[in-house]
A and B are shown apart, each in its own frame.
Chain A
């Protein structure tokens, strides 16, 4: 897939919103949003500058989708301010330079592929030609097909194509490749990277570490409605890409709290959990931990090392965040 766009510039002539080049594309300050008793977002700050490639990473229900729905003007925050190109996202004029994608694979089933693209294209002042866009996403042979008859992967590709049809300066994608096979996922990543390379700003959510790793330059980790980390990809990876070192300790003199403290203090261990004779250590560098265990003469058995899930990694980040707060307070 190939993207060639020369018309995208910082400030379009006659653009309805008053952003100068260099102003933030997205600006959210102290944003809180509740649904009944659930606080989906809790005083979140997020500023995205033109040309950034930002991944919002977090488990399901973390608040990623809610944050994006505020940015795209679908919902209003209960507190705080959200700006899109300097304007209110709920004002349609603020959204002429925004491209998004339908969630899940929700497309009107009776409309044909080219019709859906045309429907969306006409909302924008300078859309891409439908034929060229379908070609780029490998959908040209399906142009006359009703969307209800597309496969899951084809629907997903069409959905992402819709985000680009308006020649947007900002593309916001919620779980862009959910349900795609490996080939489909890589093809979409290529298209998105090409869009970014041509000067576009891209914000996407994912609960796949791999996806954020492949696309994002800056990663914002969100959980329980709060920003836990906001840093370059490598810095966040170092905190999130954890290994889980599990083993058993035979009952005996090593049962006490002192042993637990010793294990937690081993070099590289971020978190230690002990249940009966089972011990789980979370660490960024498993090799270092195992060497430490051997050097300390810990009589471990049934050693098992695997990649920790994001949820497990987030748990340590949440605890670290809590500790920071206590210190700050």
Chain B
């Protein structure tokens, strides 16, 4: 079996396992839509402004996918590693490429699924109307912009125990999301936070997604910062995976 086919094979089985516990999938799909309903829809000045509403949906979309990635791949992978079957899979003739790649693919598919209810709600109940072309570009950009967080999740999951992974994922995720302007738009930031924010993957990702949806908002620095974080966290994930030996016995 070619490396590509083996990667898809691993992805397929991870998705199959996830889908067999439907409540986990439903929770993941509803969370971003609920956040929109509770935090954006009540503010009519945001919900009725086509640009502000579109930016709000875009920010939440990135937060939804990035938290899905950080948690399912951080805590989820750490949990899997504690199972004897994971140690067994390591004895099969498959390298880190197939297993990490499989996780990447299944994560992207699940992230995509979690966007559907959010976009539907934004289309029905806000003034956001970027058009089909910009909408599709926005969705694709969210998935790409969230890849650094997928890698971060994998690094946490392969590097830490279940309990530590959950705690670290939380500690890392929420400050990053806030300082990245995913809850409050960066226009409301003080100058120092705006400058600091410019170096974070969450802020760069947010700007790039807003750019895709509205046609404005990102600078060249955003693309450089996002690419640098993707490379750095991707390398970290591969390194952590290679030195991992499954469960530690002491």
Contact = CB atoms under 8 A, between A and B. Distances in A.
A73 B91 contact: yes
Given A76-B245, A93-B93, A95-B92, A107 B85 contact: yes
B87 A74 contact: yes
Nearest to B12: A119
Contacts, number: 75
B91 A95 contact: yes
Contacts of B246: 74
B13 A119 contact: yes
Interface stretch (B14-22, B59-67, B180-188, B231-239): B14-22
Nearest to B249: A35
Given A110-B17, A123-B1, A35 B250 contact: yes
Interface in B214-250: 245-246, 248-250
Interface residues of B, number: 24
B6 interface: yes
A106 B9 contact: no
A123 B83 CA distance: 20
A203 B249 CA distance: 23
A102 B246 CA distance: 13
Interface string A120-142: 10111100000000000000000
A217 interface: no
Contact of B92 (A103, A110, A123): A123
A73 B90 contact: yes
A110 B20 contact: yes
Nearest to A101: B88
A103 B87 contact: yes
B84 interface: yes
A106 B87 CA distance: 9
What bracket does the count of chain A residues touching chain B fall in? 35 or more
Interface in B77-99: 83-85, 87-88, 90-95
B245 A75 contact: yes
A98 interface: yes
Interface string A72-96: 1111100000000000000011011
Given A103-B87, A103-B88, A115 B16 contact: yes
Contacts of A122: 1, 6, 9
Contact of B93 (A75, A102, A119, A124): A124
A98 B91 CA distance: 8
Given A102-B87, A104-B84, A111 B20 contact: yes
Interface string B1-38: 10000100100010011001100000000000000000
A108 interface: yes
B85 A92 contact: no
A116 to B, nearest CB: 9
A85 to B, nearest CB: 11
A96 B88 CA distance: 14
A102 B85 contact: yes
A205 interface: no
Sorted from nearest, which 3 A-B pairs have the closest CB atoms? A106-B84, A110-B20, A102-B88
Given A74-B87, A115-B13, 5 more contacts: A73-B90, A98-B91, A106-B83, A122-B6, A125-B1
Interface of A: 35-36, 38, 69, 72-76, 92-93, 95-96, 98, 100-108, 110-111, 115, 119-120, 122-125, 146, 162, 166
